[in-house]
Every structure is written in C-alpha cells, then in structure tokens.
Amino acid sequence: MKNQIFSRYSRMNFGKHRGKTIGQIVEENPSYIKWMIENIDNIAFDEGVVSELNLSDDLVEINSEKLERFEDGSWNNDDLYDHNSYDNDYDYRRESWDAMTDGQYGDMPDGFDGDYSFLGY
C-alpha cells in the first residue's frame, strides 16, 4: 500500500471502518486513529485531524515524522484528499458538495463541475 495522508473527509478504504470518513472515526473511535498512527507506517493524518485528537507528544511526533518522510516525493498532493478511496470522481464531488453546503442547497445538481465559488471558496 502506498503512503497516504488522510484528512477529516477521507474515507477509510480498508479495515473494520472501511467506508467511514476519518471524521466519523474520530468521533466514534478516536483510539483507532491513535493506533493507526503508532502501528501503520504508511499512513499519516493532516493537521486538521491531529488537532481534533488529544494526542500525546509522542504520537504527534510520530505523525509529523511520517508527514516529513512522505514529502520526499514518495506521494503526491492528490493523496492528501484521498480521491482513490472513491469509486469515481462523481462520488468525490457529491461527498464534497454535501460537506461544503451542509444540505443548504439540496442535492448536488446534475452536471456540477466542482466550482464552489458561489459559496465563497
């Protein structure tokens, strides 16, 4: 498995929490995220996830070391958002739509191209 950096909106693509977002796992079972930091060498979490957890200094350091190691070119920036955990780009855009609009604009319109400028992004 390649190096992966998970954000709050990334979906787990393996294990007992497969299909859940990292945010859901942080809320339901934060000790699992801590276990992953300690035990899985090719997985790290972005600052948004780390700031939500009450991590020991040792775990923060382990995660930071992984992030530095990944920056040596063995991963690309697309991994930060983990597009590969989605079956297709439409699923990624739909999930992003739901997260960005929080239901205020209903379902994602057909043909939506990912331009969130009307939301101020």
Domain ranges for the chain, please list them. 4-110
Nearest Cα residue to 22 out of 13, 38, 40: 13
User: Average pLDDT, stretch 92-116?
Assistant: 73
Query: Is the pTM value of this prediction over 0.85?
Result: no
What was the pLDDT predicted at 77? 43
**Amino acid, res. 67:** L
The chain-wide mean pLDDT, for the chain, equals: 80
| Residues 81 and 7 sit within 8 Å (Cβ to Cβ) | yes
Dihedrals phi, psi of 43, to nearest 5 degrees: -130, 135
Q: What tens digit of pLDDT does each residue of 77-100 get?
A: 444 445 455 566 667 677 777 766
